[in-house]
């Protein structure tokens, strides 16, 4: 059996994962509860995959790279090689991820952002969606889902409330 790719991401009520200027202050300021399900998710994975802009955001905004105990892949067409934290991947992202899924291991966390995720949605490569909704109508920004996607039918596994957050957990049927 192949291991699962999970999308664990926070989104405003109107479907944005960041404001246009990459501002996540609205998310950081939301009153949650405990770690809002993060450590539970984090323990279930051994690999992260993300787009280059999300990687850059993490490096710019967090003092310490947060996923050092995982294998981390960053998809990019401009950067190659690796550093102490991540390996840059220039191959077809979907084919690469299918190869990863065929290897032994725990779950794979698709961290984001919107551009890289779009390639995954278009090919239906996400197995589980864990979407944490924040109490904001941002009005504009980077959307979680872009247009012209295939229809993907899901099964609701669980819902949880963490303070002002609501976590929706789905599996692809
Ligand atoms: N709300 C949340 O929980 C959450 C989670 C994650 C991210 N975010 C936010 O989302 C924003 C970033 O999202 P984004 O949509 O702008 O960018 P992104 O998807 O993180 O990264 C886009 C970059 O990934 C590379 N890429 C994209 N498609 C590729 C492909 N098919 N093959 C190889 N490389 C590819 C390209 O890098 P190159 O230009 O190097 O080729 C592209 O510029 C940030 O503000 C971040 O903070 C929010």
Distance (angstroms) between ligand 1 centre and the Cα of 103 equals 25
Evaluate if residue 12 carries a pLDDT over 80.
yes
Total residue length of the chain: 173
Q: What is the pLDDT of residues 42-90, one digit of tens each?
A: 999 999 999 999 999 999 999 999 999 999 999 999 999 999 999 999 9
Task: Tell me, using a 6 A CB cutoff, whether residue 138 lines ligand 1.
Answer: no
What's the average model confidence in pLDDT over 157-167? 98
Specify the CATH class of 5-172 in words: alpha beta
Task: Tell me, using a 6 A CB cutoff, whether residue 49 lines ligand 1.
Answer: no
Six-digit token pair at 66? 């947060």
SS3 for 76-138, per residue?
Answer: CCCCCCECCCCEEECCCHHHHHHHHHHCCCCEEEEEECHHHHHHHHHCCCCCEEEEEEECCCC
**pTM, 2 dp:** 0.98
Task: Tell me, using a 6 A CB cutoff, whether residue 76 lines ligand 1.
Answer: yes
Omega before 113 cis (within 30°)? yes
Evaluate if residue 1 carries a pLDDT over 80.
no
């Amino acid at each position: 059996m192949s291991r699962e790719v999970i999308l664990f991401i926070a989104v405003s009520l109107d479907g944005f994962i960041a404001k246009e200027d990459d501002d996540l202050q609205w998310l950081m300021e939301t009153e949650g509860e405990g770690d809002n399900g993060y450590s539970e998710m984090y323990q279930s994975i051994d690999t992260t995959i993300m787009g280059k802009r999300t990687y850059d955001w993490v490096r710019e905004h967090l003092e310490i790279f947060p996923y050092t105990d995982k294998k981390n892949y960053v998809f990019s067409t401009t950067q190659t090689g690796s550093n102490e934290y991540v390996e840059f991947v220039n191959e077809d992202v979907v084919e690469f991820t299918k190869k990863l899924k065929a290897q032994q291991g725990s779950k794979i966390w698709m961290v984001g952002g919107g551009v890289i995720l779009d390639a995954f949605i278009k090919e239906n490569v996400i197995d589980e969606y864990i979407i944490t909704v924040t109490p904001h109508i941002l009005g504009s920004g980077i959307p979680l889902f872009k247009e012209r996607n295939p229809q993907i039918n899901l099964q609701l596994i669980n819902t949880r409330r963490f303070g002002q957050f609501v976590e929706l957990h789905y599996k692809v049927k």
